[in-house]
Structure 1
């Protein structure tokens, strides 16, 4: 087969000239003809987030290739014949790989990360596209990575029955403990980006919306007659049976208005005498449209993550109101890919907190993306009893849980928020109960907004640490659901306030802390612990979460008559450092986290058994 590298979405110019007889000049699909061809092929196989054990494999018709020098493929009429040797070699390599998979590739665009999005001439199983990507990377040393441009979809199990209660905010058993938090913070001054299906200008939401963007590049997926533009309003994502390819969906589906529901949970207008309340009703929502008919592409989602946080995306105007929080109530099968992880890293570098749904497949979230990405807050869903919702994913990558609802025994067990009444196209405003980790995630994103409104100096890692340490124990079974159910009031308290390196101060040692499992948590940097060694067998453990790129400085100052030693252990309990100076001497340990995510460390103060000295007081300084 031949390879054509085609520039889109403008006039599609063939840039691969006759190279070793393998490149043929010719026209490529463009405009409405492309739309018709895509529809005839039943466009993408949008089964990427199918339930665990589903028999159909997810499909895609795109892949992403990133070159180490960050350069784009040739896009001039001169074609490959006019390109440099490096470009010619890249084109040959792509052609050869495509031939082995009986596939022709055309260029779609460059991403914000200077990667190339390539389109296949047919839909292929995700595993087959992954094999093609591996072939491309293996054959060309200039390729930094290559991977499928996977298609993600909303994490949603909807129910359209309405009631008038939002138990998920205030009930003591399964709720968020939100009313007490509103006395201290409403999220004022914080922008939360919702990367979803867009939004409808609902009367109970519109006042809290700031300008967003439509990042959907594909006209079929976008369903609005154009590509990327400044209008993120949701035209509807209804699909007919089989329209998404590979037999999906099995029956007609109405428009979900998913982004409007998520946005309402975060910041519906409150105290206006109508409708519902939002978790952080003083905050603003920035709608970024990345999901449409049958889902949305990873490459579009990654660009939106970068732009939402204030990064630059070619062809898109600068974001005038960058978000401190990003809500991703979406996902698909497979571990975190490089494109998504790099976008998240980019957002974190600008101090943006990324909150993601664990997934609705009753499976290990480590096998889903972006739930398994590093540096995010992955959220499991609980039911009205405070236990794990039957559909919620779980596992070691889950940090916290929040109400996601369960409508099996009645709609009132779900999460009530803003919606639209249209079955396919937009109609009037309404409200509905939905269930899913998609609904749990905006609860947490809203609480993060409350925290950042109280203390804007918090870093993403500090937000996570304080969320986890302030969460409350599960009142019902929720194995591998993270540290607990998010407690909004306690989280706002834990956020602290003021500028500089937040937190700190002086705390007293709290017994019993004689083992790793009972270690006393130290949430804030620049904290001094006043402790006591009560006997020669006494030992004290303290747990800290060290953010990526930071260095823990632990300083132990004993009383002048005592010899105490300082030890440091990793999350597995393995000793990684120690200082064992003599009587009255100050022990110090510095330990750096060079990884991409936070780590747990345990600091231990121990009585030196080799002397008959005295028990007594000490101070332990912990900073990072």
Structure 2
């Protein structure tokens, strides 16, 4: 997990040769200054500290420090031992493109080396293992992992929002909040409207009411600039306050000592009222989607704040209409990530719209026990799962959010538990907002693919539930491959062969490319330093399956990744030679779209 100081650490340039020499001298001097106290007192302690490391637990961990504990060597003069240790340490670091800038001692006498760049814990584990294997004077070496406070809001009902933090089926939000709260991102709530609830009003923007039918509008008029929910009850049927509940999960104000917290509590809510008594018409919903994303609707003033995320906790039986698909396509082209509910019919998602449309993220619901909720739809259209609750085992197992006490008319602010894929959907839309706040340059394709690729395994039974349970921390960490903003590169054709390969020379690099035809092979060339490591990540579009491969100058395949449609492909390769080597990165098509629109992809490379 990155720290706020990472930007400052990255700004430090790698020392040139004279500076590198000074760094080695400085490190040796620091080791000498530590005297005998800087050395590990003996192998007995090293054996006692042996640990088993699970790489999966450190998958997203970063640090710029390495801890090394040396054994005493009583038969060797102290000065010679210290200088030799310092030299060997620097040699090992240089093999991995690292440099020790300074050092200090721990209370136990180990050395903490401050490195010239941030690196993943997994990479530093490799460095440490090489050191221990090559130097018997090292008792142990390990990354100095960065611990961070797990952000927990002070809202009094937060403890009841199990769907945010519980290990079984929670969203893993506290770790994500250390990196992003959604600040600067607008989320559209396309629903029944939103009440000016005290726990929402601080994040609530002026929206619009697209319900055109005065009979079902329930507010006495047709379209207008008031998206407040007057209640959607019909006859004796009680109002649901559905949009208000969804809005609370998305972005209820946090740390205000009131009620609950939202997933993206730093984001702004754009209420778009499209449903009244008895529901809402497809055409009104489609207009609301386009308007929220920044598109124009005849007779309606433009939205004051363009939504980067659109939440659709709604649906009906039937096929995806041309009207709805057109709206979703336009929203996507305007840069909005649309997230929709799979439906609550315990059946196939293919039978329900808009879940059976294209260009959106479809979400099914899990119970608190981590299995598919009894009511939740399933199928090939489902992209991911998220906590939606299942109150068959008790009301505490539902999703708690903002509401209203009114039955047939407006009452007072309240909170209540609900269940449904409508409740699961804003969890995922909120995560999308967290990601976009950290990197506003993300496209809807990138948001979708990264969310789907960073899920964790669903603990219970859930067939046809997408790629897994959305993990907020993993998704937010996945925003940057190298932990920092990359250099943007535009693909230049032709680049089908090694001879035509496009050179990448500034890292981390982010290439915006496309597969132009069925047989198109996009090739990029990278010079990898001796002992250097290159990593690449291919983010295709959600409807395509593209593959990633590393090849050498003789076109021998060194590594390949062929994950399924809509998932990232990632590769890593280390140049074990004593000289620099050219590496060719190839993007190829297995299935899916081609051309500037349907064939788009993002290739990220770090070295």
Corresponding position: 1:212 with 2:199: no
Q: 1:187 to 1:563 in 2, by over 3 A?
A: closer
Q: How far apart are 1:557 and its partner, in Å?
A: 3.6
Whole-angstrom CA distance in 1 between matches of 2:414 and 2:360: 32
Q: How far apart are 1:196 and its partner, in Å?
A: 0.3
Contact 1:506–1:527 under 8 Å retained in 2: no
In the other structure, the counterpart of 2:346 is 362
Q: How far apart are 1:219 and its partner, in Å?
A: 0.6
In the other structure, the counterpart of 2:434 is 450
Q: 1:231 to 1:437 in 2, by over 3 A?
A: same
Q: How far apart are 1:163 and its partner, in Å?
A: 10
**Which digits, 9 at most, give the CA deviation of each residue in 1:580-614, with x for residues without a partner?**
xxxx996856658338997899xxxxxxxxxxxxx
Whole-angstrom CA distance in 2 between matches of 1:599 and 1:433: 43
> CA RMSD, aligned part only?
3.7
Corresponding residue SS for 2:346:
coil
**Which digits, 9 at most, give the CA deviation of each residue in 1:62-93, with x for residues without a partner?**
xxxxxxxxxxxxxxxxxxxxxxxxxxxxxxxx
Whole-angstrom CA distance in 1 between matches of 2:347 and 2:455: 23
Contact 1:191–1:286 under 8 Å retained in 2: yes
Q: How far apart are 1:564 and its partner, in Å?
A: 3.9
**Which digits, 9 at most, give the CA deviation of each residue in 1:340-359, with x for residues without a partner?**
01001001111100000000
Contact 1:174–1:385 under 8 Å retained in 2: yes
**TM-score by structure 1 length?**
0.58
In the other structure, the counterpart of 2:48 is none
Corresponding residue SS for 1:430:
strand
Corresponding residue SS for 2:386:
strand
Q: How far apart are 1:478 and its partner, in Å?
A: 1.0
Pairwise mapping of residues 415-430 of structure 1 onto structure 2 (< 5 A)? 415-430=399-414
Aligned residue among 322, 329, 337 for 1:338 = 322
Whole-angstrom CA distance in 2 between matches of 1:228 and 1:305: 15
Contact 2:290–2:328 under 8 Å retained in 1: yes
Contact 2:164–2:170 under 8 Å retained in 1: yes
**Which digits, 9 at most, give the CA deviation of each residue in 1:213-248, with x for residues without a partner?**
0000001111111110000001111113xxxxxxxx
Aligned residues: 397
Corresponding position: 1:477 with 2:464: no
Whole-angstrom CA distance in 2 between matches of 1:354 and 1:368: 16
**Which digits, 9 at most, give the CA deviation of each residue in 1:260-283, with x for residues without a partner?**
000000110111112001100000
Corresponding residue SS for 2:393:
coil
Structure 1: tracts of 5 or more residues without a match: 1-161, 241-251, 508-524, 531-541, 573-583, 602-619
Aligned residue among 175, 178, 185 for 1:183 = 178
Whole-angstrom CA distance in 2 between matches of 1:418 and 1:551: 40
Pairwise mapping of residues 49-88 of structure 1 onto structure 2 (< 5 A)? none
Whole-angstrom CA distance in 2 between matches of 1:324 and 1:557: 38
Q: 1:333 to 1:501 in 2, by over 3 A?
A: farther
Corresponding position: 1:594 with 2:594: yes
Corresponding position: 1:498 with 2:485: yes
Structure 2: tracts of 5 or more residues without a match: 1-156, 490-505, 510-522, 529-535, 566-581
Whole-angstrom CA distance in 2 between matches of 1:498 and 1:269: 29
**Which digits, 9 at most, give the CA deviation of each residue in 1:428-468, with x for residues without a partner?**
10000000000000000111000000011111111111101
Corresponding position: 1:321 with 2:305: yes
In the other structure, the counterpart of 2:293 is 309
Contact 1:237–1:294 under 8 Å retained in 2: yes
Corresponding residue SS for 2:485:
coil
Contact 1:527–1:621 under 8 Å retained in 2: no
Whole-angstrom CA distance in 2 between matches of 1:263 and 1:585: 48
Whole-angstrom CA distance in 1 between matches of 2:595 and 2:237: 43
Q: 1:391 to 1:295 in 2, by over 3 A?
A: same
Pairwise mapping of residues 6-17 of structure 1 onto structure 2 (< 5 A)? none
Contact 2:309–2:432 under 8 Å retained in 1: yes
